Chains A and B, each alone.
Chain A
Amino acid sequence: KAGVTQTPRYLIKTRGQQVTLSCSPISGHRSVSWYQQTPGQGLQFLFEYFSETQRNKGNFPGRFSGRQFSNSRSEMNVSTLELGDSALYLCASSHRGATYEQYFGPGTRLTVT
């Protein structure tokens, strides 16, 4: 069974721009979570989607948004990029939202200049 895939793997953007990252969960998984990983803050929860509904959101500004499609694929969007948004963005999927069995993708490395 294929794992979680994320595209693109690397991205360089300029301050003020916006970016969209994509995540395809493991086949059959309906829950998708997004995390931001930085050296200073570690892994921080962004939001979680299940059956196209956002069930929980972390403490991030409204510039961070996401959505999930009927095929469980998910996208996250960051508008008006800031230098501090440079991070590894990780997507994780699970079968029914069981946090104890989340499987992560390789991440998208976003650099904001």
Chain B
Amino acid sequence: QKEVEQDPGPLSVPEGAIVSLNCTYSNSAFQYFMWYRQYSRKGPELLMYTYSSGNKEDGRFTAQVDKSSKYISLFIRDSQPSDSATYLCAMNPNDYKLSFGAGTTVTVRA
């Protein structure tokens, strides 16, 4: 079993819809939870990170962490075609490395 599980999708939504992405994990030692966006043939771009449990909002993006359930989510409001990308969750098992989910491919249809 992988440390971080993420449904690879693909996920297709109409423009303006809310995109809901999630990951589950098994290592209770994870402290920081990150979301990256990766466009085709580009490197991952850090969207936001959350420490421990709770919510964090940044513009149209909201990240949620529930450590009791070992479950994290990313919501994208008012989705745009430019949000079409692969979204990766990541967590830190120690100070030096990240463990990534497989990534979810999202397509926002105009």
Q: For A99, what are the chain B residues with a Cβ–Cβ distance below 8 Å?
A: 32, 92, 95-98
Bound complex: CA A99 to CA B33 (Å): 10
Q: How many residues of B contact A (CB 8 A)?
A: 24
Q: Are A48 and B96 in contact (CB under 8 A)?
A: yes
User: Given known contacts A56-B96, A97-B96, is B46 in contact with A90 (CB within 8 Å)?
Assistant: no
Q: How many residues of A contact B (CB 8 A)?
A: 25
Nearest Cβ in chain B — how far from A21, in angstroms?
A: 13
Bound complex: CA A55 to CA B95 (Å): 10
A-B contact pairs, 24 of them (CB 8 A): A33-B96, A35-B98, A42-B102, A43-B44, A43-B98, A44-B100, A45-B97, A50-B96, A55-B96, A56-B96, A56-B97, A97-B96, A98-B95, A99-B92, A99-B96, A99-B97, A99-B98, A100-B34, A101-B46, A104-B36, A104-B46, A105-B43, A106-B42, A106-B43
The chain B residues found within 8 Å of chain A, CB to CB, are 32, 34, 36, 41-46, 49, 51, 88, 90, 92, 94-103
The chain A residues found within 8 Å of chain B, CB to CB, are 4, 33, 35, 42-45, 48, 50, 55-56, 58, 90, 97-107, 109
